């Protein structure tokens, strides 16, 4: 004696369920439009803090996209990891360590490409350490990646000599002139390579999510691990791979930020894990696993960056922590209510 709705299939969903499904899939774009519209309509000239004119001017947009590159390159892989039901709190430290390594290589005369590739390989290695702790040694993901958060951060700090806060020109060493072109110099549409790498990574990940075994296995591992294992999927290997690619993309994020700031700052990734979680939750990924889309997280990252930068033109910088924290709680709560609603209908 089941109700009618339970027997229908997808094509016969009730109107309410359809609306709620539509909302779940596309709300993120409305939020982006709304945020941009609000920031654009606020006449920023009236605020005496930053006089940059209209939010929607070209320089401003390019600037935001340049600053966003690290978060954008990280959002996609982080989404896949959370879809599989796991989490990585060490991404900020991986970023910081990569930034330092990359700057060290550059300042010691290693050319761009080898430095770039080497840093990515190190990122993969750091991700592999996370994967081993979680998959092999069975340490709770939160605790395992808190351990590596501390470990990688320590390593990054130690690579920078005492009394200096970051790797930068000085003491007879000079950053090569190419160093900040990756993160700053426009190569196409006035946007730097770091942005295009992030875009390419995102497109690749969208394809992986829709057409790759990894994307499918991540969803299966997060959605129903028992079913995944019974179907012969090696869930341990899936999770390990995901940690490795998160490590690589965190390294790319570190390179982008280091290049943008022209220095190797060991703390440049601090708080990134929080922003990454926020962005992924904003994109509608459930923390119970199984659900979530790379593209929506990408848009979520754009929203957060627009908000942060836009906010800087309205309120002082010290409002940022409060706003990010509140946004995280709001995103988590609204995810909860949306999924509750989905269950009820």
Partner 1 sequence: MTGQQTFTVLSVEELTKDYPGVRAVDQVSFVIENSTIHCLVGENGAGKSTLVKMLTGALEPTSGSMSVNGKAYAPTSPQEAREGGLATLFQELHVVDELTVLENLTLGMEKSRFGFLIKSDLEDRMIKTLAAIEPSIDPTARVSSLSVAQKQIIEIARAASSGANIIIMDEPTAALSEREVERLFGVIRRLRESNVTVIYISHKLDEIFELGDNVTVLRDGKHIATKPLSEVNGRAELIEMMIGRTVFQNYTPRAGIGDKVVLQAQGVTNKLLKNVSFDIKEGEIVGFYGLVGAGKTEIARALFGADPFEGSVTYKGKPVGTTPKEAIASGIALVPEERRTQGLFTELTIRENVPVMNLPRVSKSGIFKARDVRDASLRYVDQLGIATSSIEKHAEKLSGGNQQKVVFAKCLFSKADLLLLDEPTRGVDVGAKTEIYDIIKELADEGDAIAVFSSELEEVLGICDRVFLMFDGHLQEEITNGPDVDIAHILNVVTGGHEGDVI
Partner 2 sequence: MSIVTEPFQILKLHRKMSDEAFITMLVTMVAIGLFLTASFLVPNFFQWQNVVNLVTNNWAVISLGIGVSFLLVSGNFDLSVGGIVALSGVLSVWFAQSTGGTNPLSTGLGFPYPLATICALGGALAIGAMNALFVVRFKIPSIIVTLGTMMVARGIAQIITHGSQRNTNLPSEFGFLGNLTMFGTSIKLPVVLMIVLLLIAVFVERKMVFGRITYWIGANPEAADLSGIDRAWHITKLYLFSAAIAGVVGILLASEYQSGFSNRGLLMEFDALVIALLGGVAITGGFGSVIGMFFGAIILAVVTSAATGLVLSPDWQFILKAVAVFLAIVTQTWALARRNR
**What residue ranges bind partner 2 (CB under 8 A)?**
87, 133, 137, 139-140, 142-143, 146-151, 153-155, 157-158, 162, 273-274, 277, 281, 287, 316-326, 328-329, 332-333, 336
The answer to whether the beta carbons of residues 71 and 305 sit under 8 Å apart is: yes
Binding mask 108-147 for partner 1 (x = CB under 8 A): ----------------------------------------
Tokens 């993969």 belong to residue: 124
Query: What gap in Å lies between CA 9 and CA 84, rounded to an integer?
Result: 26
The secondary structure element, H or E, covering residue 186 is strand 186-188
Check binding of 219 to partner 1 (CB under 8 A). yes
Query: What gap in Å lies between CA 237 and CA 216, rounded to an integer?
Result: 13
Looking at beta carbons only, is 4 or 113 nearer to partner 1?
A: 4
The answer to whether the beta carbons of residues 191 and 65 sit under 8 Å apart is: yes
Check binding of 224 to partner 1 (CB under 8 A). yes
Check binding of 211 to partner 1 (CB under 8 A). yes
**Closest distance to partner 1 from the beta carbon of 15 (Å):** 14
Query: What gap in Å lies between CA 135 and CA 137, rounded to an integer?
Result: 6
Query: What gap in Å lies between CA 254 and CA 124, rounded to an integer?
Result: 13
Residue 173 β-bridge partners: 170
171: partner contacted, choices partner 2, partner 1, none (Cβ within 5-8 A by kind): none
146: partner contacted, choices partner 2, partner 1, none (Cβ within 5-8 A by kind): partner 2
Q: Among the candidate windows 95-103, 183-191, 231-239, 313-321, which touches partner 1 by CB under 8 A?
A: 231-239
Residues 6+ apart with CB under 8 A from 322: none
Looking at beta carbons only, is 253 or 286 nearer to partner 2?
A: 286
Pseudo-torsion of CA 185, 188, 190, 192, nearest 10°? -40
User: Which one of 113, 137, 230, 344 is in contact with partner 1 (CB under 8 A)?
Assistant: 230
**Closest distance to partner 1 from the beta carbon of 19 (Å):** 15
Residue 192 β-bridge partners: 186
Interface of this chain with partner 1, residues 266 to 325, rule: CB under 8 A: 290-291
User: DSSP strand E in 42-183: where?
Assistant: none
Tokens 């993901």 belong to residue: 141
Residue 186 β-bridge partners: 192
Check binding of 99 to partner 1 (CB under 8 A). no
320: partner contacted, choices partner 1, partner 2, none (Cβ within 5-8 A by kind): partner 2
Looking at beta carbons only, is 218 or 307 nearer to partner 1?
A: 218
- Binding residues for partner 1, per CB under 8 A? 1-2, 6-7, 9-11, 13, 207-208, 211-214, 216, 219-220, 222-224, 226-228, 230-233, 290-291
């Amino acid at each position: 004696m089941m109700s009618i709705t339970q027997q229908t299939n997808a094509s016969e969903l009730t109107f309410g369920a359809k609306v709620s499904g539509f909302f779940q899939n596309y709300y993120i774009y409305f939020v982006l439009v709304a945020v941009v519209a609000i920031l654009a309509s606020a006449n920023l000239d009236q605020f005496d803090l930053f006089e940059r004119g209209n939010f929607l001017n070209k320089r401003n947009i390019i600037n935001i996209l340049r600053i966003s590159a690290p978060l954008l390159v990280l959002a996609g892989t982080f989404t896949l990891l959370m879809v599989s039901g796991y989490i990585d709190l060490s991404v900020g430290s991986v970023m910081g360590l990569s930034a330092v390594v990359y700057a060290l290589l550059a300042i010691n005369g290693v050319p761009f490409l080898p430095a770039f590739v080497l840093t990515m390989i190190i990122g993969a290695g750091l991700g592999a350490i996370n994967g081993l702790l979680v998959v092999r040694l069975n340490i709770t993901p939160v605790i395992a990646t808190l351990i590596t958060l501390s470990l990688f951060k320590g390593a990054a700090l130690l690579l920078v000599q005492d009394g200096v806060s970051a790797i930068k020109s000085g003491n007879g060493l000079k950053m090569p002139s190419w160093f900040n072109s990756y993160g700053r110099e426009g190569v196409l549409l006035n946007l730097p390579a770091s942005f295009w790498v992030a875009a390419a990574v995102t497109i690749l990940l969208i394809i992986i999510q829709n057409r790759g075994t990894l994307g499918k296995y991540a969803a299966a591992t997060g959605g129903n691990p028992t079913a995944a294992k019974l179907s012969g999927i090696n869930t341990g290997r899936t999770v390990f791979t995901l940690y490795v690619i998160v490590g690589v993309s965190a390294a790319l994020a570190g390179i982008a930020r280091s290049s943008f700031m022209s220095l190797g700052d060991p703390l440049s990734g601090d708080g990134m894990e929080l922003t990454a979680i926020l962005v992924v939750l904003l994109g509608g990924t459930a923390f119970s696993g199984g659900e979530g889309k790379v593209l929506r997280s990408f848009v979520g990252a754009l929203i957060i960056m627009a908000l942060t930068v836009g906010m800087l033109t309205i309120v002082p910088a010290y409002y940022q922590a409060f706003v990010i924290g509140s946004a995280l709680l709001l995103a988590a709560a609204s995810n909860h209510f949306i999924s509750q609603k989905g269950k009820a209908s």
